[in-house]
Amino acid sequence: MAVKGSFNAFEMARTQFDRTAERIGLEQAARDLLRSPLREYHFLIPVRMDDGTSRVFQGFRCQHNDARGPCKGGIRFHPQETIDTVRALSMWMTWKCAVADLPLGGGKGGVVCDPHDLSAREQEQICRGWVRQIARNVGPVTDVPAPDVMTNTQHMLWMLDEYERIHGGHYPGLITGKPVGMGGSLGRKEATGYGAVYTLREALKELGIRPEDSTASMQGFGNVSQYAAKLFREMGGTVLCVSCWDQKDQTSYTFRKKDGIDVDRLMGITDRFGGIDKTKAPDLGYEVQGGEAWLSEEADILFPCALENQITGANVGSIHKRVKIIVEGANGPTTPEADEAIHARGIFMIPDFLANAGGVTCSYFEQVQSNMNYFWTEEDVLARLDQKMTHAFSAVSEVARKRKLYMRDAAYMLAVTRVAQACRDRGWI
């Protein structure tokens, strides 16, 4: 899903931070320290292409803050990647780790490229080139990357292999999102989607709504949406529609089924990037609608699970009056202008760095298992994930109730307070 217009994610992340800093009376030194990444790296990755020509790709890595522990965050492959997006995502990762109470800080990386147009060998060369440029600045006790948009377990394994070649040893704790059997954790592929639904379950309890009486509309049909939809259905809920980006048409579509989508059957006509085949969907009983139809669906719950800047001041009015809860599976999907309108309407917001913290939580579990070379069962991983997500939701909800705050504001207050205190305890400020 394309990023819209001239939206700048880093400006949005700073706006959110500034508002929180003002609310909690944060001292100027802490504001200056936390408003920008501690370190960032820009580099070029030359690649010999399959046709014999050479291309040079732009790569990034931002380390926002490591006061609470090693930086942690994914690596995106996206043709519209920018350093400001990476900066924002690294900042959001700091808050996400803090709100989940993980001993980690925020990092993020990216490469300006489109995997749709690259062979497996070309993607491998980008992965290995990325590591060669940053190998001295990442590692199991400094900065631990992971998959993100359009990267996967294979990309992570190529990166790990290159790092181990450079450093001459086995360092499975360098990177997470690895294949199971190669240092990866069971439960990782479900983690972000399941984590979002664990927080939704707690919100439904708080609002006195039974899962079996609720319906949902989802944006995106990648890993997060797929597993969120599966678990939501298992809880008794109904997913009315999903939307996805169509690479061929360079636009998005919404796929609606009034009696609820069947995730497994729909995945049968879905590519590895989460793109649904719109020519085959009608044969499975789906209506194919415009890309923003998911937002106006008559549902109780909205799951924006694509990219940032999707619910804006321009389209927030399209949200159906029935909507009671928004669960942000994506990072930064709602702009501050839209947030104000959502808050005014009394919609219960489960903000991104709480709702989608299941991914980094399970990545932390993978890091722990890799470093100690002992691996847990899937049941154990998911039970620990449920416990962590439930505890994080309860902590944010308690702040929101006690201080009569919007959930996003409460989550920010909790996260920024924890990170600032860690900086003070270290004597940085």
Statement to judge: residues 210 and 159 lie in one domain: no
Report the C-alpha gap between 262 and 142 in whole angstroms.
42
In a shared domain, residues 154 and 227: no
- Checking if the pLDDT of 4 tops 60, the result is no
Domain, as residue range, for 339:
189-355
Same domain, 193 and 101: no
Reported pTM: 0.90
pLDDT at 406 over 50: yes
Q: How many CB atoms are closer than 10 A to CB 317?
A: 11
* Of 355, 380, 414, the domain-final residue: 355
Mean pLDDT of 180-197: 95
Q: Is the pLDDT of residue 1 over 50?
A: no
What is the helix (H) or strand (E) element at residue 244, kind and residue range? Answer: strand 238-246
| Same domain assignment for residues 228 and 347 | yes
CATH number at residue 222: 3.40.50.720
pLDDT at 3: 41
Distance CA 14, CA 269 (A): 40
Q: Which of 72, 96, 108, 189 is catalytic?
A: 108
Domain match, 74 and 213 both: no
Position 272 scores a pLDDT of 81
Yes or no: say if 30 and 420 are a contact pair by the CB < 8 Å rule: yes
Is 257 noted as a catalytic residue in this protein? no
pLDDT value at position 303? 97
Task: Between 5 and 115, name the one with better pLDDT.
Answer: 115
**Does residue 103 sit in the same domain as residue 197?**
no
Q: Is the pLDDT of residue 274 over 90?
A: no
**56 in any annotated domain:** yes
User: What's residue 2's pLDDT?
Assistant: 39
- Residue 71: its pLDDT value, please? 98
374 belongs to a structural domain: no
Amino acid (one-letter) located at 346: G
Q: Are residues 145 and 212 in the same domain?
A: no
pLDDT tier at 334 (50, 70, 90 boundaries)? Answer: very high
Render pLDDT for 412-424 as a digit per residue (tens, 0 to 9).
999 999 999 999 9
Structural domains counted in the chain: 2
pLDDT digits (tens, 9 = 90+) for 127-165: 999 999 999 999 999 999 999 889 999 999 999 999 999
Q: Do both 344 and 206 map to the same domain?
A: yes
Residue 124 is predicted with a pLDDT of 98
User: pLDDT tens digit string along 67-84?
Assistant: 999 999 999 999 999 999
* Mean pLDDT of all residues in 217-229: 94
Taking residues 36-57, what's their average pLDDT? 98
As a whole number of angstroms, the distance between CA 11 and CA 274 comes to: 29
pLDDT at 167 over 90: yes
* Structure confidence at residue 273 (pLDDT): 79
Please report which confidence band the pLDDT of residue 249 belongs to, taking 50, 70 and 90 as the band edges: confident
Helix (H, G, I), strand (E, B) or coil at 338: helix
Residue 241 and residue 164 share a domain: no
pLDDT at 321 over 70: yes
Taking every pair of Cα atoms in the chain, the longest distance, rounded to a whole number of angstroms, is 63
Tens digits of residue pLDDT in 297-315? 999 999 999 888 899 999 9
Mean pLDDT of the chain: 95
Encode pLDDT of 191-207 as tens digits: 999 999 999 999 999 99
Task: Calculate mean pLDDT across residues 3-19.
Answer: 83
User: Which one is predicted more confidently, 248 or 410?
Assistant: 410
**Where are the alpha helices (H) located in 248-356, listed in sequence order?**
263-267, 336-344, 352-355
**Is the CB of residue 383 less than 8 Å from the CB of residue 198?**
no
**Rounded mean pLDDT of 345-362?**
96
Residue 149: per-residue pLDDT: 86
Q: Residues for the chain: how many in total?
A: 429
Domain co-membership, 104 together with 216:
no
Residue 56: CATH number of its domain: 3.40.50.10860
Asked if residues 233 and 269 have their Cβ atoms less than 8 Å apart, the reply is: no
